[in-house]
Amino acid sequence: MSNNRKRRSFNSATFVVIGLGRFGSALAKELVNSGHEVLGIDYDEKLVQQMAPDLTHCVKADTTDESVLVELGIQDFDTAMVAIGADIEASILTSSLLLQLGVKNVWAKANSESHGRILRQLGVHHVIFPEDDMGKRVAHMVSGETLEYVPIDEDFVMVKTYVPHIFDGMPLSEAKIRATYGVTVVATNSGDGKYTPAFPETILHSGHQIVVAGPKAPLDKFCQLDHE
């Protein structure tokens, strides 16, 4: 096991990201860019060397070995993300050990429904399906219905889209979007790149961007108004 330390001990870090492939490395970098301290772990020495300059700490280690995790002080981290890619056995064993060691908040990437089901049965707090989620988001964007599509939970979504033509020039209160479609306009953008909160007196303009939130089915219907 080799390591690269920066500034503070491992135990002072808030997040540990295990698996520094495409998904894990992007996640770890974004956490660091957001001002968090991150310990990155991977069994591939090359990936560790590549990521070392970007993370608070970076370590080559076998996370299926409990003694290694204990030595690294993993049990003291508040949040761990298991972002291991193709090695499902390593993902499951690592997740199980993190839970046994008492990590309070364990996230894990699943590559399939069966993989996700096993992770949930273990007691993993948050199981995510990055490829599936991205596929759903891109489908809505490719169709031209939305500019961005963000699932909040299983049946609640937030999207960025354009103001439908039928509401051009109307104040939000007159458009009655929530009463008619069951969705809520959260923010508007007049084209200057800056979003501002939406109020009843906000004037809607066709072609301007808006952020809308609501249950999936009515939100999909709202976003298709200009496609009917």
Strand partners, 108: 82, 127
Stretch 187-193: mean pLDDT, rounded?
82
Lowest mean per-residue pLDDT among 42-51, 183-192, 200-209: 183-192
Q: Based on the domain organization, do 113 and 163 belong to the same domain?
A: no
Query: Would you say residue 8 has pLDDT above 90?
Result: no
Per-residue confidence (pLDDT) for residue 139, from 0 to 100: 63
pLDDT at 1 over 50: yes
**Domain boundary pick from 110, 128, 146:** 128
Q: Which is higher by pLDDT, 228 or 224?
A: 224
Compare 86 and 55 and report the one with higher pLDDT. Answer: 55
| 95-99 long-range Cβ contacts below 8 angstroms, 24+ apart | 95/119, 95/122, 95/124, 96/122, 97/63, 97/64, 97/66, 97/69, 98/69, 98/74, 99/123, 99/124
CB-CB contact of 74 with 64 (8 Å): no
Judge if 154 and 106 occupy the same domain: no
Confidence (pLDDT) at 220? 86
Tell me which of 128, 160, 179 is where a domain ends. Answer: 128
Residues 161 and 195 sit within 8 Å (Cβ to Cβ):
no
201 has a pLDDT exceeding 90: yes
Q: How crowded is the C-beta side of 168, counted as CA atoms within 13 Å?
A: 7
Q: Residues 202-219: what's their mean pLDDT? A: 91
Asked if residue 156 and residue 119 are part of one domain, the reply reads no
Q: How many structural domains compose the chain?
A: 2
Q: Which of 84, 106, 128 is the last residue of a domain?
A: 128
Does the pLDDT at position 5 exceed 50? no
Q: Pairing relation of β-strands 184-189 and 148-153?
A: unpaired
CATH of the domain at 43: 3.40.50.720
Question: If you average pLDDT over residues 172-185, what whole number do you get?
Answer: 94
Longest dimension (CA), the chain: 65
Residues 40, 58 contacting (CB under 8 angstroms)? yes
Q: Which domain holds residue 141?
A: 133-227
Q: Give the mean pLDDT of 148-174.
A: 88
